[in-house]
Structure 1
């Protein structure tokens, strides 16, 4: 029998003694409560995990555990800049696993958090039962495919496109935080399959949810040798890996997801039609069954 969903925030102690926060969305069905939880990592990088919401209703069939990375949400800032780098965030994840008492678990990561998830899988392959990477980039793979730009250009007839295009050109050289937030909202339609009310509401929170310091630190301190070492270790990851891409994702595109999937021996890509960078916002009734099928029957 369905019951009222319980949402609550708790804390765990990480490798350096930091008390970090995580949010729990308990399963809304009795059968789901019996299934292992799904740990979900937010991207950005450095974005408040609130933007994940309930991932299109994934909490219907299983409990979701959503950590706040350092300097976002209810988690304190890192004491050292290296604490924001994705390999360190992977070790925060390992501390969370121990806190939750999970011998093995399923992991979902969106956007830049795919780098954290790959670092975790490389370091702790025995801990994962399933890995789901949603709209990842391919920076870990050392490539920046151009198809995201092609997807963006293909939408030039849409009414929002001229303003979004102008914002995209200005963003790289803009340092004022208020102006950055304004431009992000102006460019936001490129991240969605369409620009309707759910998408507008979701995009409206992005500027306030981004943490400049965690964002700046995410890729720091990781040299070429370390990146290549992770890729070598990914060949030893035995769990099934699902990479979800959207054919309207003008942020990371689709080719990046293919490259990420090819890095794993058991990786496969599932492209979704009419979907941008946030599949659970654009098409929750398409996204949710794909993830649940993978978790239940793979």
Structure 2
């Protein structure tokens, strides 16, 4: 499933080809993904794309008449191609540009979304989201305050988008290992100093993954079709039964909040 780094990599990949360009037409081949695709997306035709932003794992394609909001779901991907290239299986939405290119959305599982919002309209799906993890608003003090009296496992806590957005399963396991914090610990038990380390590690892991083009496990590829190379640098995720890269002990796997979690019982306390 594309997580924040993969969505950010997608944004960086498509922006140079779309921002400042005019939309020629939009073609919707599948009327419903996770939700119905609104006919109002047609308003983009003839409009200049002013900017493409990211909020959490959503992309916001901004025009003067409104904003298209895109979510990649479990298996969605975006490619910028020559418009003459015929669509393939699972290519559900095409955004044709006047410059002869097309932004093509592919989604085998159809769990993604294309939505439309009028100027000044607040997207309901973005309500109640926590701060961006790479922003100055995401601090140890903020997390320590949010975690007071919270018995939930710290891994579950940092994956809750109400606390901080975009720390998905892969990056939660990797960040907790880098911070040497056991993922099963109650969130309230972390000291301010531990939160300081964990916040720094989350920022570092996410930023490094973005530089590496994200993580390709099954479904994700970059806009140019290349895989995300961060998968080659995973320390614990998916490494159950292998040796810990730090101490050599066996990496364990455990379900936490119904998500597979990977950690070292010796290094993480």
Give me the TM-score of the superposition, normalised by structure 1: 0.21
**Structure of larger gyration radius:** 2
More strand, by proportion? 2
Give me the TM-score of the superposition, normalised by structure 2: 0.23
